[in-house]
Amino acid sequence: MSPPRSLARLQFHAGFTLDDAVGVVGYYARMGISHLYASPILRARRGSTHGYDVVDCNEVNPEIGGEEALRRLVASLREHGMGLIVDIVPNHMGVGSENAWWMDVLRHGRESRYANHFDIDWLAPDPLVRGRLLLPILGAGYDLTLREGHLRLGKRRGEWVLRLYDDYLPLSPETAAALADDAERTHDAKTDEGRARLHALIEKQHYRLAFWKLASDMVNYRRFFDINELAGLRIERTAVFEDTHRTLFRLYAEGLIDGVRCDHVDGLADPRRYCRQLRHRLDRLRTQRPAGAPRDGAYVVVEKILAEDETLRLDWRTDGTTGYEFMDQVSAVLHDEGGEAPLTDLWRRLTGDASDFATQAVNARRQILVDSFETELDRTARALFAAARADVATRDVSQSAIRRVLGELLVHFPVYRTYAGGAGRDAFDEAVFARAVEGALRTIRLEDADLLHLVAGWLGGEAPRSLPPGPVRRARERAIAVFQQATSPVAAKAVEDTAGYRYGRLLSRNEVGVDAARLAIPAETFHAHAAQRQATFPHNLLATATHDHKRGEDLRARLAVLSEVAERWVITVERWRTRHADLRQRADGRMAPSASDEVMLYQMLVGAWPLSLAPNDDDGIERFATRVAAWQRKALREAKRWTRWTSPNEPYEDACEDFLRAMLSGGAAEEIHAFAEYIATPGAANGLAQAVLRLTTPGVPDLYQGTDYWDFSLVDPDNRRPVDFLARSASLERDPSPVEALATWRDGAIKQGVIMRLLCARKGHPELFARGAYRPLEATGPAAGKVLAFVREHRGQKLVVAVGRHLAPWLAGSSAPAIPADRWQGTTLELPPGKWSSLLDIGKRDGGVVPLAELMGELPVAAWLSSK
């Protein structure tokens, strides 16, 4: 059963538990899924809806049912011949009173057993923080918080604690022991004397309390991105690795889980070492697994964002990535490069911003360093300064100068991170640094150019291992590790969560792992990626929707149509801009929404418009407006131009929402609905093509919860709404053929039927899909450019797949994504010799040159299987 044939991702939380999942196992088994794919299952913070804020690595989350519920789920899976893959979080933990390790650190400081479990800089230069842990958890300044009585002494389970709002902080044993029975009265902050005593007590603790907004300037623990509530782990330490993985290893040894998805692997000090260590430990446990649990190796994939020319390192011993690069490739091949010029021109004219996406990303990186990562920049600069001071040849280099050149390197860094170690940088990482240095040279002071090259050398250009053992070598290795852990959060926050919300040429290309500067790729490039994947990581996960996506997979597929009808879209947007001018209002000194925010809003409205929503359905329009308004407010804050999470500009945000609601209630709904209808059927064809390519190209397809129907979800939490499994089970029971389902395509059954048939084909012919060679096929004839086709072959058995693309000229404005036979007139595809059966219920036929119309049968997709 390993590696998986296919995964179905489920998000677990109090509203959807492991026992709830038992009820859908049968559905997924009928669909042909081989493994469920669970969000993190270890104990998370109370009320967590995602599970990435783990607070106890040694307990299955009781809010989702605990270990007994896990055993019930696995028993059901085994009855259906299925397995379980779980998401794990090696980079960080949620902190606070629910995390016993964290509380022990607060209680005992550097003497805590767990002081080195978390990535804490106990030697921070600030004397008020040195040797203590800065806690940026106050809702206001420290003095005001103290005076208003939000800090007070109290008892919890018979022990003195420091009460903060509705939570508590531990006191060091020494200070707690010195408190008299009347300490609560003598330390009452309502009086000057009591407040002074309470302040003196707090100052003796192993932590320093601070206003939460000071985190980016002062925090002395590594965070997950800029989230104060998630503290980085030192997973590179063996003790930490064992303590955090003990339960996961036990669950694997007992046959309850069959593999893992490693979250945010780029946050680790040494991803290669971690992945190899994980693989080694899982391999050693295989023989302990019980009968009925597969013993042929755990499935291990890592969440990794790859640049266009970057590949996952083979020596990590993983099965691949979680598939963001595939999500990029399959999206790009469905876009039409002919729309690039008009869409770019529209964006630049209306916004007055001629910057390309690369420039937006650089500007965002520069802002992010100041707004969110000053502490991380200082930490990295100090590590490099230590490396400079350790060598007499560079002892005169100043920390300020290092910080300047380091900042420019980070601003121009073209990938998420490099992987230099003791041996220095490999060829790919060397090329990355060359690009970063080239960019930095354009923006640094002339006097810093030599230092820039020197710093680049310290960061792996010169192998630390070539140096003699001693302080210089240790300092270089430390600097490399700290730098590499700093680049990925800066990239993620700048590219995904800032530039991606500022640059709105076409939002279907603003997605996790996607370079929005590249609108489209040719079929040849898509084929090359697929062939390379088969050769290197044939079990790589293939995703088109995730818990992190910014827009649902079918929303993106529909917006891709705008690249085909760009001229019409340009005219439409210009008309709407003029028509709705009176709805804009001045807020905080500027018009709301801005031109860029308005253009992006129009795209989201036509892209996300529900297939069943009529423009005169007032209740439905209100529900839709509420969903879009939530997306809009989040998007405005992520862009960090007129408002942001740390300093919300509510007048601007409210004015933008007023514009949205006034527009939808004032007659614009009719026109928006009409345009959404115009692109709906070619968008649906794109959605089917995307699904078929995910299910048939080399790799393991991932089916995110609910996306077996059309997925027009927005950014989280909208993409984590409850799934109607009863409706899905009912339509699966009816099981119309895909051609029959064309008539009622809006209900999603056509997508479900196509997915089910291909998943069942994977189940029936696992070796073909797992090992089959990949070869492009070329159609001939007048419509050859509108089909992407390939053949998979293994030991004489073959699969031919063909999907239509760029079909807007044929389908825009039509009532269904059905392609009339005459559209393919004169266009053919050659099936290899043999007997062939359609996997989508079109029929049977012999090989040879076949008209496309006969292969497709009105569907925009086709899949044919040969007999051996």
348-366 confidence digits (pLDDT tens): 999 999 999 999 999 999 9
Say if 579 falls within a structural domain: no
Q: Are residues 271 and 217 in the same domain?
A: no
Q: Are residues 316 and 371 in the same domain?
A: no
Say if 333 falls within a structural domain: no
Q: Are residues 113 and 206 in the same domain?
A: yes
**Residue range 56-69: mean pLDDT, rounded:** 98
Rounded-to-integer distance, Cα 724 and Cα 745, Å: 17
Say if 112 falls within a structural domain: yes
Range of the domain at 471: 357-499
SS3 845: strand
Q: What pLDDT shows up at residue 761? A: 98
Query: Which of these three, 464, 499, 534, is where a domain ends?
Result: 499
- CATH number of 30's domain: 3.20.20.80
Strand 861-866 to strand 828-838: parallel, antiparallel, or no bridges (unpaired)? antiparallel
Q: Give the tokens for residue 405.
A: 């050149």
C-alpha torsion 339→345→347→351, nearest 10: 180
Model confidence at 728: pLDDT above 70: yes
Contact criterion met (CB below 8 Å) for 804 and 861: yes
End-to-end C-alpha distance for the chain, whole angstroms? 23
Query: Which of these three, 322, 345, 368, is where a domain ends?
Result: 322
Q: Are residues 155 and 267 in the same domain?
A: no
Say if 467 falls within a structural domain: yes
Model confidence at 56: pLDDT above 90: yes
Q: Are residues 245 and 316 in the same domain?
A: yes
Query: Which of these three, 483, 499, 515, is where a domain ends?
Result: 499
Rounded-to-integer distance, Cα 557 and Cα 685, Å: 8
Q: Are residues 431 and 386 in the same domain?
A: yes
- CATH number of 130's domain: 3.30.1590.10
Q: Are residues 80 and 131 in the same domain?
A: no
Say if 493 falls within a structural domain: yes
Q: Are residues 86 and 188 in the same domain?
A: no
Q: Are residues 248 and 226 in the same domain?
A: no
Model confidence at 400: pLDDT above 70: yes
Binning pLDDT at 50, 70 and 90, where does residue 588 land?
confident
Model confidence at 134: pLDDT above 90: yes
Q: Are residues 297 and 373 in the same domain?
A: no
pLDDT in tens, 231-286: 999 999 999 999 999 999 999 999 999 999 999 999 999 999 999 999 999 999 99
Q: Are residues 367 and 480 in the same domain?
A: yes
φ/ψ (deg, to 5) at 226: -115, 30
SS3 865: strand
Rounded-to-integer distance, Cα 45 and Cα 39, Å: 14
Model confidence at 45: pLDDT above 60: yes
Say if 524 falls within a structural domain: no
Say if 518 falls within a structural domain: no
For tokens 């479990």, the residue is 117
Say if 688 falls within a structural domain: no
CA distances (Å), 590 to each of 442, 503, 584, 595, 651, in order?
Answer: 33, 19, 10, 11, 10
Q: What pLDDT shows up at residue 435? A: 96
Q: What pLDDT shows up at residue 2? A: 64
Q: What pLDDT shows up at residue 306? A: 95
Q: Are residues 217 and 312 in the same domain?
A: no
Model confidence at 393: pLDDT above 90: no
Contact criterion met (CB below 8 Å) for 113 and 107: no
What's the structural domain count of the chain?
Answer: 3
Alpha-helical (H) ranges within 736-803 are 738-741, 749-764, 766-771
SS3 659: helix
Highest-scoring range by mean pLDDT, 289-298, 452-461, 624-633: 624-633
